[in-house]
Amino acid sequence: MQVMVLRNEVIINVKDDMVMEKYQKHGINPLLISMASGQDIASVSPRPTVAMLPGKYPKLVYKHIKELNSEFAENIFRLTCGKCGKNGDYDLGTLAIPVITGEGTRATDKFQAVGYFRCKHCNAAGDWNLSPTIQTMLAGKLAAAVIKQTIETEASSDIVLGQVLIDNDFTPRWGSDAEDYFLEKLGKNPENAYLWNRLGNIYYKGKRPELAVTAYEQALARDAGQVESMFSLGRILADCGYLETAAEYLRQAVAFAHQYNLLTAHDLRELIVSALTILLAIYNKTDHEIDMLPTPNELAIAQFANSEIAATVQLDFEINPGRCETLYPLAEVYMGARRDELPPAERKTPIPRRKVAWPLPGKVNKQKPPKKNKNKKR
């Protein structure tokens, strides 16, 4: 009997290995596993699999990688690895080329690939050679994109004119260069949740959502108020169909937004509107079973002021699912004090229906004095 059990285990392991082999299609940086899990790099497999990624969601999200990536461009080209010399077909994702390429420089020397991929044979990244045939093909494709974009105002999505710039300073040639940039920064500052969030964005745009969620989960483990990571996790999980969990993250993003300072007021409002748009869709899709708006309890956890919680409960907005601008006044309520940073012309004053609920009369009176204070300072 025991032998039988052992045999079964062996069979199961073989099956797992087969699944893992399939996972290795895209390649994962051992350094990411080491930094996210705290394991010494020497003890991490040189060719990690999705199963080795720490966190709740990488494996779940990996199952949906095709649907998740359908919004991104596909540019498959044969490249030769500079490390091992072997060829492979890789999806370079969105390609960016500078608007003006200098005389004598070929566009193929200047392009940037946003896709994240590593060598299928040796798991190296960033050292790629393009054969002359591929260079010609690519040059043709890029030239076509340039002509298309100068004629049409609508940008073609698989090739964009412009430059990918990180921190106004660094121009990554490949998605893996952008990863290196953030992993190096995280090496010096591993607890920085914002850096983890930005690394997640690099993976997401690089068509690697399973790596993106790994990074977003790391961000949230370090800062429970990392609103951008909450939103991104929620959006990805919603796209995978995990509506309940997605809605929890999205409601959290809305509830915590008022204390998030790493986005401008304008961008923060955009994020809240996007979160509310997805939440509204989930709410309708589930016949109102999943809450759209943060519950008073969720708001309290996010230290949303009591008076403002009361205000949100009493609000009765007219929301038109087809017009996202109807969500702006609601989004501004959830911005809390950061709402005041919006330029007056941009601000959509909340329209209270029935009883006046917002702004609270008490608040309005309290807001009047600052004018006098300003004069006093001078």
* Dist. CA 178–CA 163, nearest whole Å: 13
User: Which tokens hold the place of 249?
Assistant: 């993250």
Q: Pick one of 59, 64, 121, 148: the residue that binds Zn ion (CB under 5 A).
A: 121
Which x/- pattern over 31-70 shows residues binding Zn ion (rule: CB under 5 A)?
Answer: ----------------------------------------
Looking at the Cβ atoms of 88 and 336, the one nearer to Zn ion is: 88
Looking at the Cβ atoms of 121 and 148, the one nearer to Zn ion is: 121
Element (H, E) at 80: strand 76-81
Q: Pick one of 20, 31, 65, 122: the residue that binds Zn ion (CB under 5 A).
A: 122
Looking at the Cβ atoms of 68 and 81, the one nearer to Zn ion is: 81
Q: Are 54 and 33 in contact (CB under 8 A)?
A: yes
* Dist. CA 26–CA 20, nearest whole Å: 11
Which x/- pattern over 284-323 shows residues binding Zn ion (rule: CB under 5 A)?
Answer: ----------------------------------------
* Dist. CA 329–CA 348, nearest whole Å: 5
- In the complex, minimum distance from the CB of residue 129 to Zn ion, in angstroms, rounded to a whole number: 11
Task: Output the CA–CA distances (angstroms, integers) from residue 53 to 16, 48, 60, 217, 240, in the order listed.
Answer: 15, 8, 11, 11, 18
* Dist. CA 360–CA 186, nearest whole Å: 44
Looking at the Cβ atoms of 122 and 324, the one nearer to Zn ion is: 122
Looking at the Cβ atoms of 86 and 366, the one nearer to Zn ion is: 86
Residues in 78-107 at the binding interface with Zn ion, rule: CB under 5 A: 81, 83-84
Binding piece for Zn ion, criterion CB under 5 A, among 74-82, 207-215, 351-359, 363-371: 74-82
Looking at the Cβ atoms of 87 and 286, the one nearer to Zn ion is: 87
Burial class, 133, CB count within 10 angstroms (exposed 0-12 / middle 13-18 / buried 19+): exposed
* Dist. CA 309–CA 226, nearest whole Å: 21
Looking at the Cβ atoms of 52 and 81, the one nearer to Zn ion is: 81
Binding piece for Zn ion, criterion CB under 5 A, among 114-122, 217-225, 323-331, 352-360: 114-122
* Dist. CA 258–CA 255, nearest whole Å: 7
Q: Are 94 and 105 in contact (CB under 8 A)?
A: no
- In the complex, minimum distance from the CB of residue 27 to Zn ion, in angstroms, rounded to a whole number: 10
Which x/- pattern over 124-143 shows residues binding Zn ion (rule: CB under 5 A)?
Answer: x-------------------
* Dist. CA 170–CA 184, nearest whole Å: 13
Binding residues vs Zn ion (CB under 5 A): 81, 83-84, 119, 121-122, 124
